[in-house]
Structure 1
């Protein structure tokens, strides 16, 4: 019996590792081109996401000629939307859920601005509340508490002309 439970544990661990690898390979970062999605990279009729335990669901929805939206549901239940302009560059990210997503992965090079805003807030003795960063190349808001987080980040210069960014944000 111990051998079969160990084997079950190994299989479950392998499936979890595979699903985590799919998650890290499929996300893009602000200001970069989106990464290939697991369904796009699969050569067979069944995508990698369908053959592995469901770790996340993702779909790209063409909303207009100006941009598309990819919706990602993490295993934690957090929903992240990536907005990609016609030049195939991520111009905005919106998140909502019980756990903060890996903001370093979604912000890319702009994560430093997020860290700086958090450090300045702590240095000023502020705890809790919304974390804001507004610069010419990044606008970011992150707020929430344990079990209920939401926020957004976008690069103003990459927002397609004619798109009201405020309508896309929570």
Structure 2
């Protein structure tokens, strides 16, 4: 029985090739939707039902040392995540009618600063640098935009104007 199962999955028959193709296709399709926080290795991010992602687009820019992943939340907010070739998120930019949850976009190790978690965050302009993290955010009701990046893991070829 064990021989039959190993031949079935790992053999060279048509069905075995088809099964391998299905498994690899499934892994490829769902491996591109990985989220992380700045400065942290990629991890799965779980959203509550009010922040479901409606679309995802991935653009490989290996020549410049990064991969861009864009997605839109159900609220209409657009998020652009930039990863280096190791898969680490080094920059994130956002725009839309709702300010995204910065704790999910930026690693919580950076968010102990009162200026970043204050109650009036959505009603002002923030331009701050904490260690290697730079955050710029501005907005008013129904229009927010901003970006954050980590200088320590920023690829040398990356143009910061892409974040604006």
TM over 0.5: yes
Q: Which residue of 2 aligns with 1:59?
A: 57
Once residues 119 and 159 of structure 1 are traced to their aligned partners in structure 2, the CA distance between those partners, rounded to angstroms, is 24
Once residues 102 and 67 of structure 1 are traced to their aligned partners in structure 2, the CA distance between those partners, rounded to angstroms, is 23
Q: CA deviation at 1:81?
A: 0.4
Pairing partner for 2:128 from 122, 125, 133: 133
Structure with the higher fraction of residues in helix conformation: 1
Q: Which residue of 1 aligns with 2:105?
A: 106
How many residues in Structure 1 have an aligned counterpart in Structure 2? 126
Q: Which residue of 1 aligns with 2:163?
A: 169
1:138·1:155 contact (CA, 8 Å) conserved in 2?
yes
Once residues 60 and 36 of structure 1 are traced to their aligned partners in structure 2, the CA distance between those partners, rounded to angstroms, is 16
Cα separation, partners in 2 of 1:110 and 1:152, compared to 1, 3 Å:
farther
Q: CA deviation at 1:143?
A: 0.6
Cα separation, partners in 2 of 1:164 and 1:97, compared to 1, 3 Å:
same
Q: Which residue of 1 aligns with 2:140?
A: 145
Is the radius of gyration larger for structure 1 or structure 2?
2
3-state SS of paired residue (2:111): helix
Runs (4+) of structure 1 exceeding 6 A deviation are 119-122
Q: Which residue of 1 aligns with 2:69?
A: 70
Once residues 31 and 77 of structure 1 are traced to their aligned partners in structure 2, the CA distance between those partners, rounded to angstroms, is 26
3-state SS of paired residue (1:157): coil
The question of 1:32 aligning with 2:30 is answered no
Q: State the superposition RMSD in angstroms.
A: 2.9
Structure with the higher fraction of residues in strand conformation: 2
Q: CA deviation at 1:152?
A: 0.3
